């Protein structure tokens, strides 16, 4: 049985831990608010961009861009967008579980975020490159990643590029998701189906003939790189929002658990202390009686 001193020491240490998790929770909460705002603010733009892309692709006719070339998929690149730091609940392990589903032979991984690259190194997968992104993702960071994978694709080193990331649903739910980045033709279908209703509207509008100024090809060739960069940027924003939300929730749970533990330990401690006092009184009174 633990002595009162042991109990006191444990209470103190749990208190220390709870202070740390509480602080992390606060930090994550404030970052979460900003990151969520950024992710949600970017969505209308992303939706509009997808609509426009869908229409342009539908109207571009025979025009084809090297980035749209569909080949038989022999080798695939997967961009794994994870976090840099841990302590964010099951977010990363969910991601890694998805990542482990790709076969090791014909997949090259591109890690964005340190946790992902650690996992890939540990499981000995092909890691082609490693990128980082800041707490507030920058557009230029998205651009470098896109540039790298687009190069791989254009050099025919890979035949398709997937992105594996955590999509932000709300503060309590984040879902690992796979999206096809390249070739571009496939993206149109997958992104258009975010909601059933939207897809309907899109198909209708796709039927109308659009005029292009100066020409479909020119609009297209300037839209395409921008589209890819933005897609990637939005994904970084979503991942960040997910990370901070997940961490906030995880830390809140940790703090709550620590509180409960402190409460239980304190109860035990007080019981023991009281038992000690009772015993002492008993001893004193029985001694007095013996003397008397």
Partner 1 sequence: MAGTLKLEIITPEAVVFSEDVEMVTLPGIEGEMGVFPQHVPLMTQVVPGEIMVRRNGVDSALAVGEGFVEITANRVAIMTDMAIKADDIDEAKAEEARQRAEARLKEKLTEEELAAVNAALLRSIAQLQVKRRHRK
Q: Which is nearer to partner 1, 140 or 170 (CB)?
A: 140
Closest CB 145 distance from partner 1, rounded Å: 14
Q: Which is nearer to partner 1, 38 or 192 (CB)?
A: 38
**CA dist 164 to 7, 92, 225, 236, Å?**
46, 11, 20, 11
Closest CB 7 distance from partner 1, rounded Å: 53
Q: Which is nearer to partner 1, 53 or 250 (CB)?
A: 53
Q: Kindly name the residue from 60, 80, 88, 146 that is annotated as catalytic.
A: 88
Binding site residues, partner 1, CB under 8 A: 38, 41-42, 44-45, 48-49, 51-52, 55-56, 59, 139-140, 143, 205, 208-214, 219, 222-223, 226, 230, 233
Query: 39: part of which helix (H) or strand (E)?
Result: helix 4-59
Closest CB 40 distance from partner 1, rounded Å: 9
CA dist., res. 15 & res. 20, Å (int): 9
Q: Which is nearer to partner 1, 170 or 208 (CB)?
A: 208
CA dist., res. 42 & res. 230, Å (int): 9
Instruction: Read off the DSSP letter of residue 67.
Output: G
* 3-class DSSP state of 110: strand
Closest CB 184 distance from partner 1, rounded Å: 16
**CA dist 136 to 37, 68, 209, 238, 243, Å?**
11, 30, 40, 11, 12
Identify whether 198 is a catalytic site residue. Answer: no
CA dist., res. 78 & res. 125, Å (int): 11
Instruction: Read off the DSSP letter of residue 89.
Output: T
Q: Which is nearer to partner 1, 63 or 212 (CB)?
A: 212
CA dist., res. 132 & res. 230, Å (int): 17
Closest CB 205 distance from partner 1, rounded Å: 7
Question: From edge to edge, which strands make up the β-sheet containing 160-168?
Answer: 126-131, 107-112, 76-81, 160-168, 174-182
Decide: 157 and 73 in contact? Cβ < 8 Å: no
Residues acting as catalytic residues: 88
């Amino acid at each position: 049985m633990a002595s009162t001193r042991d109990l006191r020491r444990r209470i103190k240490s749990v208190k220390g831990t709870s202070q740390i998790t509480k602080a992390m929770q606060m930090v994550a909460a404030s970052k979460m608010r900003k990151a969520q705002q950024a992710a949600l603010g970017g969505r209308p733009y992303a939706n509009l961009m997808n609509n426009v892309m869908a229409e342009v692709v539908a109207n571009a006719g025979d025009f084809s861009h090297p980035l749209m070339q569909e080949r038989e998929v022999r080798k695939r690149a997967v961009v794994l967008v994870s976090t840099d730091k841990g302590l964010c609940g099951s977010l990363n392990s969910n991601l890694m579980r998805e990542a482990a589903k790709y076969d090791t032979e014909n997949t090259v991984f591109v890690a964005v975020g340190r946790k992902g690259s650690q996992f890939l190194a540990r499981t000995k997968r092909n890691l082609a490159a490693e990128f980082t992104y800041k707490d507030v993702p920058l557009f230029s960071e998205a651009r470098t990643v896109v540039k790298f994978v687009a190069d791989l694709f254009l050099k025919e080193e890979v035949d398709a590029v997937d992105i594996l990331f955590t999509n932000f649903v709300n503060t309590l739910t984040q879902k690992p998701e796979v999206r096809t980045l390249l070739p571009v033709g496939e993206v149109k279908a997958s992104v258009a189906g975010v909601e059933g209703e939207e897809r309907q509207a899109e198909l209708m509008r796709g039927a109308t003939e659009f005029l292009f100024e100066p020409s479909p090809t020119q609009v297209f060739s300037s839209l395409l790189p921008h589209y890819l960069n933005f897609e990637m940027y939005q994904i970084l924003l979503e991942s960040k929002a997910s990370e901070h939300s997940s961490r906030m929730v995880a830390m809140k749970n940790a703090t709550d658990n620590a509180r409960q533990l402190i409460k239980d330990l304190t109860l035990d401690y007080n019981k023991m202390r009281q038992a000690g006092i009772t015993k002492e009184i008993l001893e004193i009174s029985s001694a007095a009686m013996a003397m008397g």
